[in-house]
């Protein structure tokens, strides 16, 4: 069996700095690498300069950008990434929205599984876009709480996972016809539950990482008929790169495209939605909203680690200390550092011009403020 490819997607708001590779046809910032580097030991990854993402998964971002262009909305756009962890699609949507709308958008990144929110929160923090709100609620709660609120909903729903067979032995072991049937039914429930939150004329981008027609085309046809929507035509232009056209969307199969399996299709809502009203995202009890600010502790105003990772971070707000690779890795390992030439107090550790986080310089040593949960565990 052919090995899975390795690909990354660059952060256009952090200098497009990352490993070199060949372009992903459907992603302007995607790169397919010749081999898998030791990502853990690249400080640029920890600075949010790029995200490691399968090239086929990036196709969902392409479909989103197509629909974004078709809608023509440039201010105040509201988008929901419904099943968001670990954050690949959220970071792709955030970059696309910021390019199209500047900072005038709201992106809600939701992950209902509590045990999966940690990775999502970390990846959103590294990407550094202040317009992203992270939540962890059931789709039905969103549908009830925010009727008619969203212009676009991206639903990369849990599926039977056939597209992951090449690189995920567990997906192969757990597959069965009963699992396919269960997944198809669960996907219908998810779509029905969140549907009220999409405004009339809004767009559903629906995707899976399986090849099963019952989970892909059949479910989107079901949504069109039962929930009220118009199917959008699939993409035709990527056939020479192995992207198939199906009845209601596009299918990428491992072995035919560089990446793994993915299916995506779109639906425009034609059924009526409640009239607009005053909404408050706080009703969803966000786990994160924007970039956390500094906290007063005693006589100290302590900067939050995520402040340095924000794409809007002002590098003149704190003294910045450019360090070499080994020192950067020691910082990320959460080791104590000695910076004899740095001023006392809070300093930002920089690598290749990219902020990594804060230390408090005490003179003879520095207190390392890198979050414990994000520290490099391997030897550096």
Indicate the residue among 224, 249, 281 that finishes a domain: 281
Q: What CA–CA distance (Å, rounded) separates 354 from 48?
A: 9
Residue from 83, 209, 248, 366 carrying the catalytic annotation: 209
In a domain, 32, yes or no: yes
Beta-bridge partners for 51: 9
Would you call the peptide bond into 86 cis, given omega within 30 degrees of 0 as the criterion? yes
Section 352-367 average pLDDT: 96
**Residues 142, 212 within the same domain:** yes
Pair 176, 316 in one domain? no
Contact 287, 136 (CB under 8 A): yes
Three-state DSSP state, 284 = helix
Q: Supply the CATH number for residue 111's domain.
A: 3.40.50.150
317 and 168 in a single domain? The answer is no
Q: Are residues 30 and 174 in the same domain?
A: yes
Residue 99 has pLDDT above 70, yes or no: yes
Domain, as residue range, for 354: 294-374
Q: Say if 332 falls within a structural domain.
A: yes
Question: Can you give the pLDDT at residue 274?
Answer: 72
pLDDT value at 115 more than 80? yes
Q: Work out the end-to-end distance of the chain between its first and last CA atoms, rounded to an integer number of angstroms.
A: 34
Same domain assignment for residues 251 and 310: no
Residue 170 sits in the same domain as residue 70: yes
Q: Which two tokens stand for residue 15?
A: 């200098």
- Report yes or no on 178 lying in a domain: yes
pLDDT at 272: 87
Checking if the pLDDT of 369 tops 80, the result is: yes
Q: Assess if residue 288 is contained within a domain.
A: no
Domain shared by 236 and 357, yes or no: no
Three-state DSSP at 39 gives: helix
- Summarised one tens digit per residue, pLDDT across range 16-47 is 999 999 999 999 999 999 999 999 999 999 99
CATH code, domain carrying 337: 3.10.450.720
What DSSP line would sit under 173-242, residue for residue?
Answer: HH--HHHHHHHHHHHHHHHHHHGGGEEEEEEEEEEES---TTTTHHHHHHHIIIIIEEEPPPP-TTGGGT
Q: What is the dihedral of CA 148, 247, 8, 35, to 10 degrees?
A: 160
- The reply to whether 287 falls in a domain is no
pLDDT of residue 277: 64
Does 113 share its domain with 25? yes
pLDDT of residue 1: 53
Short-list 234, 230, 233, CA closest to 202: 230
Q: Which residues touch 61 (CB under 8 Å, ≥6 apart)?
A: 9, 26, 27, 89, 92, 93, 96
Structural domain tally of the chain? 2
**Based on the domain organization, do 191 and 323 belong to the same domain?**
no
Measured between alpha carbons, how far is 251 from 216 in angstroms, rounded to an integer?
9
8 Å CB contact between 336 and 27: no
Average pLDDT over residues 93-115: 96
252 and 355 in a single domain? The answer is no
Gap between the Cα atoms of 315 and 196, Å rounded: 43
Q: What is the DSSP letter of 337?
A: B
Q: What is the mean pLDDT of residues 78-98?
A: 98
Asked if the structure places residue 354 within a domain, the reply is yes
Same domain, 353 and 268: no
Q: Where are the alpha helices (DSSP H) in the chain?
A: 43-46, 58-71, 88-101, 117-127, 139-145, 169-174, 177-194, 217-223, 325-332
- Whether residue 286 is contained in a domain is answered as no
User: Is residue 202 a contact partner of residue 64, using CB atoms and an 8 Å limit?
Assistant: no
Phi, psi of 229 (to 5 degrees): -160, 165
Please tell me what DSSP assigns to residue 361: E
User: Is residue 289 in a domain?
Assistant: no
Whether residue 29 is found in the same domain as residue 63: yes
49 included as an active-site residue: no
Mean pLDDT of 69-89: 93
Is the pLDDT at 378 greater than 60? The verdict is: yes
Which of 281, 315, 339 corresponds to the end of one domain?
Answer: 281
pLDDT at residue number 149: 95
> Of 79-83, 156-160, 165-169, which gets the smallest average pLDDT?
165-169
- Domain finish residue from 258, 281, 304: 281
Tokens (6 digits) for 341: 């030439």
- Chain-centre distance for alpha carbon 326: 29
pLDDT tens readout for residues 167-185 = 767 767 777 788 889 989 9
Distance CA 179, CA 170 (A): 13
pLDDT of residue 207: 98
Query: Which token pair is 49?
Result: 């300069």
Q: Over the stretch 318-337, which tens digit does the pLDDT of each residue have?
A: 999 999 999 999 999 999 99
Identify the three-state secondary structure at position 13: coil
pTM check: above 0.75: yes
Q: What is the pLDDT of residue 240?
A: 95
pLDDT tens-digit map of 271-305 = 987 765 667 899 999 999 999 999 999 889 999 99
């Amino acid at each position: 069996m052919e090995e899975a490819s390795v690909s990354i997607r660059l952060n256009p708001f952090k200098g497009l700095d990352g490993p070199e590779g060949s372009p992903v046809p459907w992603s302007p910032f995607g790169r397919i690498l010749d081999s898998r580097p030791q990502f853990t030991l690249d400080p640029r990854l920890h600075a949010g300069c790029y995200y490691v993402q399968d090239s086929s998964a990036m196709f969902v971002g392409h479909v989103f950008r197509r629909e974004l262009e078709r809608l023509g909305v440039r201010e105040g756009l509201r988008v929901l990434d419904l099943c968001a962890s670990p954050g690949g699609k959220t970071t792709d949507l955030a970059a696309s929205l910021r390019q199209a709308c500047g900072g005038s958008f709201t992106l809600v990144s939701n992950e209902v599984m509590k045990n999966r929110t940690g990775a999502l929160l970390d990846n959103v923090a590294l990407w550094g876009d202040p317009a992203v709100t992270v939540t962890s609620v059931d789709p039905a709660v969103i549908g009830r709480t925010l009727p008619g609120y969203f212009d676009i909903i991206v639903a990369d729903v849990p599926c039977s996972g056939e597209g992951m067979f090449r690189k995920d032995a567990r997906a192969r072991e757990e597959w069965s016809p009963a699992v396919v049937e269960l997944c198809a039914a669960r996907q219908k429930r998810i779509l029905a539950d969140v549907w009220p939150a999409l405004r009339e004329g809004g767009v559903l981008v629906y995707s899976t990482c399986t090849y099963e027609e019952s989970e892909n085309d059949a479910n989107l046809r079901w949504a069109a008929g039962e929930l009220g929507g118009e199917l959008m035509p699939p993409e035709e232009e990527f056939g020479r790169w192995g992207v198939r056209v199906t009845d209601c969307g596009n299918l990428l199969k491992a072995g035919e495209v560089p990446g793994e399996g993915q299916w995506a299709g779109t639906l425009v809502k034609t059924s009526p939605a409640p009239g607009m009203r005053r909404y408050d995202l706080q009703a969803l009890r966000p786990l994160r909203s924007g970039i956390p600010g500094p906290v007063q502790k005693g006589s100290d105003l302590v900067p939050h680690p995520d402040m340095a990772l924000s794409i809007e971070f002002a590098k003149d707000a704190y003294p910045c200390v450019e360090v070499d690779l080994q020192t950067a890795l020691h910082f990320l390992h959460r080791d104590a550092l000695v910076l004899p030439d740095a001023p006392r107090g809070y300093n930002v550790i920089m690598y290749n011009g990219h902020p990594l986080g804060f230390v408090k310089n005490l003179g003879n040593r520095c207190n390392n403020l890198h979050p414990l949960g994000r520290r490099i565990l391997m030897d550096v």
